[in-house]
Amino acid sequence: MHSVRKMNLNDKICLWKEHPEDEEQLRGLFIAEEWDILNIIHKFEIFRNVMEEEENIRCRQDNMTVFIQAEKEMEISFELKEKFLSRIGVLLATKTVEAWLEIIIWYSLLAEKKLIIEDFWEFPVLRIMIDIFVKELNAFLEKGNSISILSLNCMQKLTDVYFKTVFLCRRIEFGIEPVKEIGEYIKEKNFSFAFIESIVYEAQIFNKEKVMEAVKGWYGNDDR
């Protein structure tokens, strides 16, 4: 067990996925906040399995049963969201590459289990930010560029920056002045080119080419 304790988060989660019911053996591998998330995921899966078994017994569900099932699933979803975002907040506060790698592991687990990532508006933003982190990390490893996303040390800042950037880019799209103000905001935040590009191509911006032409002008020959 001593050697197992030195496993990284991904290895420990793989072990948990093989035997999620083995609480006594596994709980000591995780800190309390991590175990809370895993415990709720396990509870979610048990609930789903029970519902599937009941569905196999019944030919069709009555309205009350469907309502109760949806209500219970939403209750667990909110519980999981609260624990997950709390853990993400702790990781973001450290402003480290290692923390973001853990965030990727947690997000990937929820995506694999098909849990909550499509139910709450914070998660599409987090997915885009993960994509930005990966691009910036690669640029750092290849060219030594800075990882600008590390400056955003909480989920509130991630979402605020995302929505403000989308809003400002839409001003470019519709030709609303002053465009210079938008460029100054982006330069002030020291966001990488990959940061802005990822948001532009993921957001509901229709004339992406027009926006990206303006963005390229702000970075000049800097290919960050």
pLDDT digits (tens, 9 = 90+) for 142-169: 999 989 999 999 999 999 999 988 988 8
Question: Counting Cβ atoms within 10 Å, is residue 155 exposed (0-12), middle (13-18) or buried (19+)?
Answer: middle
**Same domain flag for 131 and 200:** yes
pLDDT at 131: 96
At which of 95, 110, 140 does a domain end? 95
**Same domain flag for 150 and 67:** no
Residue 217 counted as domain residue:
yes
Residue 62 counted as domain residue:
yes
Range picked from 3-7, 35-39, 216-220 for highest mean pLDDT: 35-39
Residue 76 counted as domain residue:
yes
**Same domain flag for 130 and 208:** yes
Question: Quick check: 224 pLDDT over 50?
Answer: no
> Considering the chain, what is the average pLDDT of its residues?
85
Residue 103 counted as domain residue:
no
Question: Quick check: 127 pLDDT over 70?
Answer: yes
Question: Counting Cβ atoms within 10 Å, is residue 220 exposed (0-12), middle (13-18) or buried (19+)?
Answer: exposed
In which band, very low, low, confident or very high, does the pLDDT at 140 lie, cut at 50, 70 and 90? Answer: very high
**Same domain flag for 142 and 178:** yes
C-alpha pair distances (Å), 178 with each of 83, 140, 162, 181, 185: 41, 32, 20, 6, 12
Query: Among candidates 147, 37, 146, which has minimal Cα distance to 86?
Result: 37
In which band, very low, low, confident or very high, does the pLDDT at 66 lie, cut at 50, 70 and 90? Answer: low
**Same domain flag for 58 and 156:** no
**Same domain flag for 125 and 224:** yes
At which of 48, 80, 95 does a domain end? 95
CB 183 within 8 A of CB 218: yes
Of residues 125 and 223, more confidence is placed in 125
pLDDT at 59: 47
Proportion of the chain above pLDDT 70, given as a percent: 84
**Same domain flag for 174 and 127:** yes
Residue 52 counted as domain residue:
yes
Residue 220 counted as domain residue:
yes
Residue 110 counted as domain residue:
no
**Same domain flag for 136 and 220:** yes
Residue 206 CA to residue 169 CA, distance in Å, equals 11
Query: Among candidates 219, 90, 78, 71, which has minimal Cα distance to 154?
Result: 90
Question: Quick check: 137 pLDDT over 70?
Answer: yes
Q: What is the CA radius of gyration of the chain?
A: 21
Q: C-alpha angle 98/101/102, rounded to 5°?
A: 90
pLDDT at 20: 81
pLDDT at 148: 93
Residue 17 counted as domain residue:
yes
Q: What is the pTM of this model?
A: 0.83
**Same domain flag for 217 and 136:** yes
The domain total for the chain is 2
In which band, very low, low, confident or very high, does the pLDDT at 54 lie, cut at 50, 70 and 90? Answer: low
pLDDT at 187: 75
Of residues 211 and 54, more confidence is placed in 211
Question: Quick check: 46 pLDDT over 90?
Answer: no
Question: Quick check: 80 pLDDT over 90?
Answer: yes
* Phi, psi at 101, each rounded to 5°: -65, -35
**Same domain flag for 35 and 125:** no
Burial readout 2-12 (b: 16 or more C-beta within 10 A, e: otherwise): eeeeeeebeeb
**Same domain flag for 9 and 75:** yes
Domain range for 144: 121-224
